Homo-oligomer: A and B are copies of this chain.
């Protein structure tokens, strides 16, 4: 009987491989069904490696969670950065990115929810969540600020922060319910829905986010305000 042939991988590659297998298994079978054996099988290795690369299973799962959060915020920030243009275009792009693939993915949302459920009773998870949330809020504030200023809206740090909190809530809620979507409405209404909602939340003129630069206006919003002449 011969042993399984294998390959020696670098620390980074193997760790990432194990974390991704962990995420896959947690998404598929939940935390209770994500056993060390299933995870290692998914990663194509044997159980011993868990101890070798992480202290324990719990340690591996915590690392996988941090890895996920990192990826999520990185993706979101990237969407914002990618949209070079007016502040409105950037904010709009960020909002839309959060409600379209690959960001709004059922598997990812399931994962996220599963981990969130552990935040309260696991200090390790709590810290990871807090950092991710702070980062997300910060990005949002950075995007909102110039838009408010550009439109001459009432502005202060507190106002900006409150807007970020509300907008973040809106994003999170729609992201979750939209991805899990129970077939109660079509998912593809969400990008337009959130840009419209954000306009009203921030009290921007209608169309400010749904048609910031080029005409990609597909919402049914009547444009009944003029107020387009603002010096850049």
**Residues of A in contact with B (beta carbons under 8 Å apart):** 27-34, 106-107, 109-121, 126, 129-130, 133-134, 137, 154, 161-162, 165-166, 168-174, 176-178, 180, 182-185, 189, 193-194, 196-197, 200-203, 222
If the complex has contacts A184-B130, A200-B201, are A28 and B121 also in contact, measured as CB distance less than 8 A?
yes
Partner of A133, one of B31, B154, B177, B200: B177
Give the shortest distance, in Å, between A163 (CB) and chain B (any CB): 9
A32 neighbours in B (Cβ, 8 Å) = 30-34
A161 neighbours in B (Cβ, 8 Å) = 185
Give the shortest distance, in Å, between A138 (CB) and chain B (any CB): 10
A174 neighbours in B (Cβ, 8 Å) = 165-166, 169, 173
Give the shortest distance, in Å, between A157 (CB) and chain B (any CB): 13
Cα distance, A177 to B202, chains bound together (Å): 20
Cα distance, A121 to B173, chains bound together (Å): 20
Cα distance, A140 to B194, chains bound together (Å): 18
A129 neighbours in B (Cβ, 8 Å) = 180, 182
If the complex has contacts A110-B121, A114-B117, A120-B110, are A165 and B182 also in contact, measured as CB distance less than 8 A?
no
Q: Which residue of B has the minimal Cβ distance to A112?
A: B117
Q: Which residue of B has the minimal Cβ distance to A170?
A: B170
Cα distance, A116 to B111, chains bound together (Å): 9
Give the shortest distance, in Å, between A95 (CB) and chain B (any CB): 12
Partner of A113, one of B33, B106, B116, B189: B116
Cα distance, A29 to B126, chains bound together (Å): 14
